[in-house]
Structure 1
Amino acid sequence: MQPCPPRSAPYWLDLGDVAVVPLVELSRLPIEPEEFFPGSGQIPSATWCFDESWFDREASRLVFTIQAFLVVTENEVILVDGCVGSGKPRKRSHFDNLDPSWFTEFTNTGFTPEDVSTVVLSHLHVDHVGWTTQRTDHGWSPVFGNARHLVSQRELAYWSGDDGRAAMTRTGDYLADSVAPLAEHGLLDFAEDGRQIGRHVDLLDAPGHTPGNLCVRVTGSKAELLLAGDLLHHPLQLFDPDISTRYCVDPNQAAATRHDILTAVTARGMVLQTAHFAGISASRLNKEGSRYTLVPATDTIRTGQYHRP
């Protein structure tokens, strides 16, 4: 196992004719292990997945990151997910009324909201949709007004139904301020498995964590990368892919999907980039029995601030 380097400065991923730029909102989000992974205390703390990048030993907390990704091709500027958002009332204290520093991360690339052609919402959890809107004199208005916003129809149906509304009692109704305004402005489209976005990007169904969860495959001239979203939340799910989170709608389906996609990623030599692994986590996978380890994809990692061509 080669540990991934910690993130101490901006970086981006070079796929040849495509760039993938992490846009970090919260770099170190501490979570009590039993909240997210009931029973995870049975895994020895000396296991590699509890490296200091991903586990705060002093506080006995798992460490997560909240981030989105900008995918830049010759013809497209695509935002994958939207983090928590700024100035939005949320029940989790780490998410409540955040400042707009994420937007500075975005504008530091040299792009403006008008440049974004597509926003992909991998799923409709509170930490993936927030920066789709911002408060204006007219209420919650779209940030990326020129972009088509893609989401699975199954996903929206679930969160708009009784089960989804019940699940949102722990977070607050983030659909009202972050998703409904997109529909009201005619910016929301449905997209499923196989949807192409230009020459370099397509969507993959990854159900289980939520009913319409999606992954995003990015194919460049030098490397292929999977933006895995919430297929995985923490490296312990590589140590034991059967472990799903407390917040997975269908934990067994989530585990089966994880096995299938990790098998394909390993066989294809793809770079895996998750939404919530802390540090610089872009890696290829080695399979050892039923478990996986990470090999940092140093051929794609470029340190320094990405600037638009």
Structure 2
Amino acid sequence: MTTSPTLPSWTVGGITVHRIDETALPPATGPWLLPEATPDIIANEDWLRPDFADAEGVVRVDSHSFALEAGGLRVLVDTGIGNGKPRANPAWNGLATDYLERLTTAGFAPDSVDLVILTHLHTDHVGWNTHERGGGWAPTFPNARYLTARAEREFWAGYAMDEPRRQMFRDSVQPVEDAGLLDLVDVPDDGVEVAPGLRLLPTPGHTPGHLAVELTSGSARAVITGDCVHHPVQFARPGIGSCADIDPDMAENTRRRLLASLVGTDTLVLGTHFPPPTAGRVVKHGRAYRLEPVPPTAASHG
């Protein structure tokens, strides 16, 4: 018997944000990604367990996208790891997930997506940009504009990539560029609105052109983090960085600024790698913050 996927969603005013699950990442991912998030640190932050860390104090990390409608557009934020991609990381190599089925069940069939926002051009955020077709890689969302920061694409254009990263660009970025579907956006310090209720916020450090995505509807507001915050432990310890941060100092400063701007507000924070419950609000906690979880407003089966 086949079980239909569960589709968690959150309501932000008139916007419904769907979490499109790809895969839970192996337990070793957390210590690799956030090496300073040790079990001793987790033990001092009881609120992280059991949802965001296991009983041994190992942080949990997921891969998912967010799908929503805003400003008359059907939008996907980040595209995960992708299926069948040759990857150096064994957890990402040759995946065969039901991601597209989940996306379609949520009401976002690939042909219906208008806009794909890429918070940055890392392997686990661009994989479903393309899918295998005829022995090559073709855009998965042929009717969409793919959008990322100009600073992001220009950085990688001048970066001395290793072969695994060149492979990722060959199979997941260049086919979109070759199809004329990639738009590069200049993102000023105060952000840029790309559609009514949909704004890109500059959050550099993890990568030079990293973006967060702000949603507004009426008085309601949400922020999709991308990788400027990888895990809720960074609310309590903003100095904990990722092994993949290109500029760790800038990444920390960005994280501190973002959290300080959100604490005590009703803004819903949706973490791109946060395991369930995935979303919450920033509240004061000692000398820093914690995430106060907000459960999905809907978790139906398709």
TM-score of the superposed pair, with normalisation by structure 1: 0.88
Quick one: which of 118, 125, 136 aligns to 1:139? Answer: 136
Q: Does structure 2 conserve the Cα–Cα contact (< 8 Å) formed by 1:31 and 1:64?
A: no
Distance 2:127 2:42 in 1: 35
Structure 2 unaligned spans of 5+: none
Partner residue of 1:3?
A: none
Partner residue of 2:291?
A: 294
Partner residue of 2:237?
A: 240
Distance 1:114 1:32 in 2: 33
Aligned residues: 294
Quick one: which of 164, 175, 189 aligns to 2:169? Answer: 175
Q: Does structure 2 conserve the Cα–Cα contact (< 8 Å) formed by 1:218 and 1:224?
A: yes
Partner residue of 1:71?
A: 68
Q: Does structure 1 conserve the Cα–Cα contact (< 8 Å) formed by 2:7 and 2:106?
A: no
Q: Does structure 2 conserve the Cα–Cα contact (< 8 Å) formed by 1:17 and 1:74?
A: no
Q: How does 1:159-308 map to 2 (within 5 A)?
A: 159-163=156-160, 165-166=161-162, 169=164, 173-193=167-187, 194-221=191-218, 223-298=220-295, 301-305=297-301
Q: What CA deviation, in whole Å up to 9, does each residue of 1:123-155 have, x standing for no partner?
A: 011110000101111621101111111111111
Identity %: 30
Q: How does 1:16-165 map to 2 (within 5 A)?
A: 16-31=13-28, 33-41=30-38, 42-48=40-46, 50-57=48-55, 61-73=58-70, 75-137=72-134, 139-163=136-160, 165=161
- CA drift at 1:256: 0.3
Q: What CA deviation, in whole Å up to 9, does each residue of 1:30-62 have, x standing for no partner?
A: 23554223333352524225412222335x642
SS in 1 for 2:60: strand
SS in 1 for 2:222: strand
Q: Does structure 1 conserve the Cα–Cα contact (< 8 Å) formed by 2:67 and 2:77?
A: yes
Instruction: Report the CA distance shift for 1:54/1:301 in structure 2 as closer, same or farther (over 3 A).
Output: same
Q: Does structure 2 conserve the Cα–Cα contact (< 8 Å) formed by 1:283 and 1:295?
A: yes
By relative contact order (CA 8 Å, sep 6+), the higher-ranking structure is: 1
Structure 1 unaligned spans of 5+: 1-7
- CA drift at 1:71: 1.4
Distance 1:47 1:289 in 2: 11
Distance 1:290 1:27 in 2: 31
Q: What CA deviation, in whole Å up to 9, does each residue of 1:159-198 have, x standing for no partner?
A: 22234x14x64x6621110000111000001123333232
Moved more, 219-228 or 88-97: 219-228
Moved more, 16-25 or 259-268: 259-268
- CA drift at 1:296: 2.3
Instruction: Report the CA distance shift for 1:138/1:184 in structure 2 as closer, same or farther (over 3 A).
Output: farther
Distance 1:214 1:120 in 2: 9
Distance 2:8 2:34 in 1: 30
SS in 2 for 1:22: strand
Moved more, 119-128 or 106-115: 106-115
SS in 1 for 2:281: strand
TM-score of the superposed pair, with normalisation by structure 2: 0.90
